[in-house]
Structure 1
Amino acid sequence: MTTTVKPPARAGWTVPALLILLSVVPLVAGAFRVGELASGAPVTADNARFFAAPLPVVLHILAASPYCVLGALQFSPGLRRRRPRWHRASGRLLVLLGLATALTGLWMTLFYSIPAIDTGFVTVQRLVFGSAMAVALVLGFVAARRREIARHRAWMIRAYAIGQGAGTQVLTHLPWMILVGEYTELSRALLMGAGWVINLAVAEWFIRRGQRPRSVQRAREHSPG
């Protein structure tokens, strides 16, 4: 007689918890920036562009912060299964928040006075990945309307992976800051790009893992080797 051991309920919260943890530094940085603008902090070379035009960066932060947290909760299969109405309603909200995040990010890249180290290839990457995030959100929404669930899931995961770029970029920058120190324009661009590429690589693995037949997944999970 074979007994099937069900994984503990908390196992379904591992991925959401890790994604929220990944968001902590960007969330804190965003709250600091909003507080800085609201309190009338001294204007410096680093923040002058935000004081000159605060609306885009405030909208970006107010959209990106809940997008990262609410998006993480979508990775809980139990929550999606038990609360389908919540999943649909929050999914629509995520599309709006994600589009606001992507479009304000593109606006800031195009129209803010960007520091020299963030020009060139960094600017190109921000434009490419920001545009890709917006396109992925639209394609994910259209797929949901057509009841193409697997395609909807894939595009929304890709959009979320791009939106979480700032969190992973903290991890790609930290070793360089500790071991090397200052950035060059090239190293900065490579470290920024690495954050997005890593996220998209993990996203594609996650998508393909979810597309396996359930019988294959169960066989692999319970195989002795």
Structure 2
Amino acid sequence: MRTEPSKSSRLIPTGLIALSFVPLLAGAFRLTELATGAQVTEANARFFAAPAPVVAHIVAVSLYTFLGAFQFAPRFRRRRPAWHRRSGRLLVGAGLVAALSGLWLTLFSDLPHGDAGLLAVFRLVAGTGMFVSIALGLAAVLRRDIRRHRAWMMRGYALGLGAGTQAVTQALWLGFVGVPDEFTRALLLGAAWAINAAVAEWLIWRASRRRVRV
């Protein structure tokens, strides 16, 4: 009876952190680039033009995805409820900053040609969905509605982890098909958010079915 919870408490955060490894590494590279005054190129000029929202987004989303992974370890959460509450407050702030800074960068930064159009729409939808989910999760826990709190926070985290799944969808396409064109790349990135959202909804549905059976 103790083996399964123990395994899930280790495997869940490990898997989530592994999924976020590529965007965490990319974020660390970008922060190093900004901090050391790297050469400004066409690819990074927009980050140097407005570094504040870039830094805010990278730091917030890195904290949100890494620390948030431990919120989904059942045994860890049950054994350390005080830690869960304290880190949860920090994660709500980080998640809201990550969503808002992502929306700002999509709306106001000088996007390269491949990031405009359909991909920008996907990013606006995902960022808005992430912000709303976290806000509703916060409102639910303030009402002591733990079931809805968990559901909304799971949805917000799924959208926040989109960059990790995007690395997978792009790598698979690159490995089996080749370099995607602009439209296909937008679909691959959008599909990653859709996959994460679908998995979150399935987990929420499965939990509700389990409660009904009990």
User: So what's the TM-score if we normalise by structure 2?
Assistant: 0.95
Alpha-carbon separation, structure 2, partners of 1:215 and 1:121: 40
Alpha-carbon separation, structure 1, partners of 2:70 and 2:144: 21
CA contact (8 A) 1:95 1:137 kept: yes
Q: CA deviation at 1:66?
A: 1.0
Q: CA deviation at 1:214?
A: 5.2
User: So what's the TM-score if we normalise by structure 1?
Assistant: 0.91
Q: CA deviation at 1:11?
A: 3.0
CA contact (8 A) 1:15 1:76 kept: yes
Matched, 1:13 2:10: yes
Structure of higher CA gyration radius? 1
Q: CA deviation at 1:118?
A: 1.1
Task: State the match for 2:96 in structure 1.
Answer: 99
Secondary structure, aligned partner of 1:44: coil
Task: State the match for 1:223 in structure 2.
Answer: none
Task: State the match for 2:159 in structure 1.
Answer: 162
Secondary structure, aligned partner of 1:127: helix
1:173-184, aligned counterparts within 5 Å?
173-184=170-181
Task: State the match for 2:107 in structure 1.
Answer: 110
Secondary structure, aligned partner of 2:69: helix
Which amino acid counterpart does residue 126 of structure 1 have in structure 2?
R
Matched, 1:131 2:149: no
Task: State the match for 1:220 in structure 2.
Answer: none
Aligned residues: 213
Unaligned runs of 5+ in 2: none
Alpha-carbon separation, structure 2, partners of 1:10 and 1:178: 32
CA contact (8 A) 1:125 1:193 kept: yes
Task: State the match for 2:57 in structure 1.
Answer: 60
C-alpha change, 1:215 and 1:154, in structure 2 (3 Å) is closer
The structure richer in helix per residue is: 2
Which amino acid counterpart does residue 157 of structure 1 have in structure 2?
M
Task: State the match for 1:209 in structure 2.
Answer: 206
Identity of aligned residues (%): 56
Alpha-carbon separation, structure 1, partners of 2:145 and 2:180: 44
Secondary structure, aligned partner of 2:2: coil
CA RMSD of aligned residues (A): 1.4
CA contact (8 A) 1:12 1:78 kept: yes
CA contact (8 A) 2:138 2:149 kept: yes
Unaligned runs of 5+ in 1: 218-225
Alpha-carbon separation, structure 1, partners of 2:203 and 2:110: 37
Matched, 1:88 2:85: yes
